[in-house]
Amino acid sequence: MSAPTAIAGILFDKDGTLLDYAKSWVPVNYELAKIAAKGDEALARMLLKAGGMDPDTGHVLPDSLLAAGNTVEIATGFVAAGAPFTVEALTTLFDGLFARSAEYAVPVTDLGSFFAGLHAKGYRLGVASSDNERSIRETARRFGFDGYLHYVAGYDSGYGVKPQPGMVLGFCAATGLDPQQVVVVGDNNHDMHMGRSAGVGMTVAVLTGTGSRQSLADASDHCLADITELEAVL
């Protein structure tokens, strides 16, 4: 790991990192399963279980399909579990739902002020999510940090998908930084492994998503309660 003074760019995951996963996405997951099951309650419960979520408690397993998968992966998994759609049709429905869901998301802190503070210190800032790019931009607009971003990448932006290194390398290309100058911040091991595979200077896990200190320990250099503790480790 590089010395903290070498860090010049920060690449954030969105869901579970900038947004509180349980408050923002558990309700969406229920709607997701309802859509995929065409209202069949028994099938919806089965789909949630296949995705890694307990339909009764709403608990989502770390690194499960609903915790870390992109839209195509979730649609593929649901179709394999019995959803009566093609993967393509379900992906389109899910992308639409996810974009609308930005209006109901719950941030972990005042994201406008948070990003403004980092921007003022000279950091290059980006968001890399398994969600679609439209949803990321809608979230950034809603919470007032879109003007501070140097880079946005979703699963459909052409940089590949997590845990591949492409989103990080795209951030480096956009900002002129070396991977060793970058910290990746996320809530699951897809984020940590993406960072490690790209050779970043630091991987930082947060506990506002589906991961735990135990599940994130091996692949993260630091594990924080939330992003407000980030500056202490930079």
Q: Which two tokens stand for residue 140?
A: 């950034």
CA angle 74, 192, 154 (to 5 degrees): 45
User: Would you state the pLDDT for residue 1?
Assistant: 44
Reported as a single tens digit per residue, the pLDDT across 3-41 is 445 899 999 999 999 999 999 999 999 999 999 999 999
φ, ψ of residue 143 in degrees (nearest 5): -100, 10
Task: Look at residues 100, 121, 129, 94 and name the one whose alpha carbon lies nearest to residue 18.
Answer: 129
Q: Report how far residue 216's alpha carbon sits from residue 205's, in angstroms, rounded to the nearest whole number.
A: 7
What radius of gyration do the chain's Cα atoms show?
17
Beta strands in the chain (DSSP E): 9-12, 124-128, 151-153, 182-186, 202-206, 222-224
The residues of the chain scoring below 50 in pLDDT are 1-4
Strands 9-12 and 182-186: what pairing?
A: parallel
User: Would you state the pLDDT for residue 102?
Assistant: 83
Q: What percent of the chain has pLDDT over 70?
A: 98
User: Would you state the pLDDT for residue 3?
Assistant: 44
Q: Can you name the residues that pair with 126 across neighbouring β-strands?
A: 11, 151
Identify the structural domains of the chain with CATH numbers, from first to last: 4-20+107-233 (3.40.50.1000), 23-104 (no CATH)
Beta strands in 150-190 (DSSP E): 151-153, 182-186
User: Would you state the pLDDT for residue 103?
Assistant: 84
Residues 6+ apart with CB under 8 A from 232: none
Query: Exposure string (b/e) for 46-78, b if CB count within 10 Å is 16 or more?
Result: bbbebbbbebeeeebbbbbbbbbbbbbbbbbbb
CA angle 162, 203, 141 (to 5 degrees): 65
| pTM of the full structure | 0.91
